[in-house]
């Protein structure tokens, strides 16, 4: 027991809680914008895909190309490539002595996660019974009514599952953002656990990330079950 307590004795817990707060800020800030951008993109991908209501082969091919290109780019590379754009968007001045910061990490997180989420939304919409869509259309519903009254309500379990998977993916992305000094648990693990060889800090950050992922998965599963009963 004493060995266990001594292992964690020199940890600055205020740093741990601050880093956890930064991770939560990056996670939920980027998740919000990912859903706002990715949901309509996923709907557009579905509607313009082959054999769907508003099939547009050219538009679908273009959107698919863009989405696939962004999805194929490793996030750590995207993070570095986007540094100039991040500076422009956030107004952060970056030179050799500065780091990205929490706010600066959100744009690349959103760009990295939005195509992934959009594909998941498209997949969820494909699971909707086509008969429901056709029935809604036969009653003279407009495009907006088809989307809001048939597609999205019927696809809610799949969409919430997509949000859950995306949120967990963003947790790993926030950890990778620590490489460029974005803050959060990933940054703490690199600065203290890796560079200063403090294994206890590394263990704590890993455990905190695991707990966060477990909470997200549990909440997401409950939401999926809840809306599956509707």
More confident residue, 41 or 78: 41
Residue 81 inside a domain? The answer is yes
Residue 165 inside a domain? The answer is yes
Name the nearest CA neighbour of 117 among 23, 16, 21, 38: 38
More confident residue, 8 or 220: 220
CA atoms within 13 A on the CB side of 132: 16
More confident residue, 187 or 38: 38
Segment 3-21 mean pLDDT? 70
Residue 164 inside a domain? The answer is yes
Residue 68 inside a domain? The answer is yes
Residue 1 inside a domain? The answer is no
Residue 86 inside a domain? The answer is yes
Q: What is the CATH number of the domain that holds 219?
A: 1.10.3720.10
Count the Cβ atoms, other than its own, within 10 Å of residue 210. Answer: 11
What is the pLDDT, as a whole number, of residue 95?
Answer: 46
Could you tell me how far CA 187 lies from the centroid of its own chain? 18
Segment 76-94 mean pLDDT? 73
Residue 212 inside a domain? The answer is yes
Question: Total structural domains in the chain?
Answer: 1
DSSP H helical ranges for the chain:
2-7, 13-48, 57-72, 75-81, 83-90, 101-126, 130-138, 143-146, 152-154, 156-177, 184-188, 199-228
Residue 223 inside a domain? The answer is yes
Is residue 22 pLDDT above 80, yes or no? yes
Q: Encode pLDDT of 52-75 as tens digits.
A: 878 788 899 999 999 999 888 888
What is the pLDDT, as a whole number, of residue 90?
Answer: 65
CA atoms within 13 A on the CB side of 31: 20
Q: Tell me which residue range forms the domain holding 150.
A: 15-228
């Amino acid at each position: 027991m004493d060995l266990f307590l001594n292992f964690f004795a020199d940890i600055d817990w205020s740093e741990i809680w601050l880093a956890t707060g930064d991770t939560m800020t990056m996670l939920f800030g980027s998740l919000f914008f990912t859903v706002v951008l990715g949901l309509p993109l996923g709907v557009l991908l579905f509607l313009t895909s082959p054999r769907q209501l508003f099939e547009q082969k050219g538009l679908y091919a273009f959107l698919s190309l863009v989405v696939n290109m962004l999805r194929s780019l490793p996030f750590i590379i995207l993070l570095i490539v986007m540094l100039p754009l991040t500076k422009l968007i956030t107004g952060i001045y970056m030179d050799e002595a500065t780091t990205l910061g929490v706010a600066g990490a959100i744009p690349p997180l959103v760009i990295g996660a939005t195509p992934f989420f959009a594909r998941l939304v498209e997949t969820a919409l494909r699971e909707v019974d086509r008969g429901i869509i056709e029935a809604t259309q036969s009653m003279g519903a407009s495009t907006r009514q088809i989307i809001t009254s048939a597609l999205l309500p019927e696809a809610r379990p799949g969409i919430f599952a997509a949000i859950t998977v995306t949120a967990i993916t963003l947790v790993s992305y926030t950890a990778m953002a620590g490489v460029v000094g974005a803050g959060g648990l990933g940054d703490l693990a690199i600065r203290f656990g890796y560079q200063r060889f403090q294994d206890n800090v590394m263990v704590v950050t890993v455990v905190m990330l695991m707990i966060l992922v477990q909470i997200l998965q549990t909440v997401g599963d409950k939401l999926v079950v809840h809306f599956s009963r509707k």
